[in-house]
Amino acid sequence: MIQFAERTKRLGTETAFLVLAKAKALEAQGKKIIHLEIGEPDFDTPVNIRQAAKKALDDGYTHYGPASGLPPLRQTIAEHIAATRGIKVAPDNVVVTPGGKPIMFFTIMACVNEGEEVIYPNPGFPIYESIIDFVGAKSVPLALKEKTGFRIDIDDLKRAITPKTRMLIINTPQNPTGGILTHEDLTQIAELAIKHDLVILSDEIYSQIVYDGFKHESIAALPGMQERTIILDGFSKTFAMTGWRLGYGVMPPHLAEMVTKLQINSTSCTASFSQIAGMEALKGPQDDVRKMVEEFRRRRDAIVEGLNQIPGFRCHKPLGAFYVFPNVEGTVKDARWLADYLMNEAGVACLSGTAFGRFGEGFLRFSYANSLENIKLALELIRAAIGKL
């Protein structure tokens, strides 16, 4: 039997994939399941993007490309980030990766020594903690609280910073809560980052999925911040392109070189035809993105209203992403048990808040990347199942 290396003991995972597998197994037994667990748009990739990829294949984009990404795509991304974040960006700030996720791995590997500390949001995307621990650094959770709409509490952040803190990870709009960071929050975080010389990994993968007039802002745009910030963004969520594996990081050029070196040591490069499709995504018509966001907003309104009518549930209305994170402490104490119960009893797959860290206890995460019809049906089924408790 092959033995695993010590470091694998520190590796975490993303529970969403495990719950999806369980839901699929139940479906194989003939049970009907409504999927509100997985974090990907249910829409198809817009037609113009698919056509660009088909043409790219015929045009011969089937070979290796430069490790940091195809130059015209890096240029397009630089222009897009400059326009949307209000900062100066050049192609040598950009590294294109297979999805946004590798930017987490590469930048933490590149910037954080063993024994140094990284502060990250909790509840938060589980891969942050996993990678921090995996590289032998110390993961320091920063609790996000319901009463502030899951924003970062600046006093808590001040208390979490020590002389060993190297990096702070922020995520706005946030997975799993849908919470956002305001201009005021970003300003206060930036002051601390400068004072304590921290690197910021700013996960902005949901930057274009925002509601009610909220305008996404990047911490990189604040004075003195671009030189210490890595922006993570990509195509998966905005353009419904999760399976294309296309994302990127925007960072100072010397770090981009190091991240490219890590890419050479692992994935080599991102699929060339996916990159051509990405250019069409950013440069082509944006009507489909607007339609998707508008549809997400309608679903958000329906799910927040519906969940708030279920006894024992209390649901904050988020301004971004496509998740809701209701407090369910009024039902049972154990959120994992409740998520399991809802899958088996109601046929609704969702995630326990604890899938996003220990401060997620007492909450569930529902993804509303599913049709309004299914969401309404799921709400009825949940209500009936909770009534039986």
Contacts of 385 (CB under 8 A, 6+ apart): 341, 342, 345, 346, 348
Nearer to ligand PLP, 74 or 101 (CB): 101
The 3-state DSSP class for residue 359 equals helix
Q: Show the site string, 338-357: x = touches ligand PLP by CB under 6 A, - = not.
A: --------------------
Nearer to ligand PLP, 241 or 375 (CB): 241
Beta strands 348-349 and 323-324: pairing type?
unpaired
Residues 222, 140, 214, CA angle at the centre, nearest 5°? 40
Contacts of 300 (CB under 8 A, 6+ apart): 178, 211, 317, 318, 322, 324, 368
Phi and psi at 55, nearest 5°, equal -65, -40
Q: Show the site string, 191-230: x = touches ligand PLP by CB under 6 A, - = not.
A: ------------x-x-------------------------
Return the bridge partners of 64, or none.
Answer: none
Decide if residue 234 touches ligand PLP (CB under 6 A).
yes
Binding region for ligand PLP (CB under 6 A) out of 96-104, 181-189, 345-353, 378-386: 96-104
Q: Which of 45, 107, 139, 175 binds ligand PLP (CB under 6 A)?
A: 175
Say how many residues touch ligand PLP, by CB under 6 A.
Answer: 13
Residue 105 CA: distances (Å) to CA of 75, 110, 185, 293, 389: 23, 8, 26, 29, 42
Decide if residue 272 touches ligand PLP (CB under 6 A).
no
Interaction with ligand PLP in 29-88: which residues (CB under 6 A)?
Answer: 39
Q: How far is the CB of 196 from ligand PLP (least distance, A)?
A: 24
Decide if residue 365 touches ligand PLP (CB under 6 A).
no
Peptide bond into 173 cis (omega under 30): yes
Decide if residue 142 touches ligand PLP (CB under 6 A).
no
- Rule CB under 6 A: which residues touch ligand PLP? 39, 99-101, 125, 171, 175, 203, 205, 234, 236, 242, 247
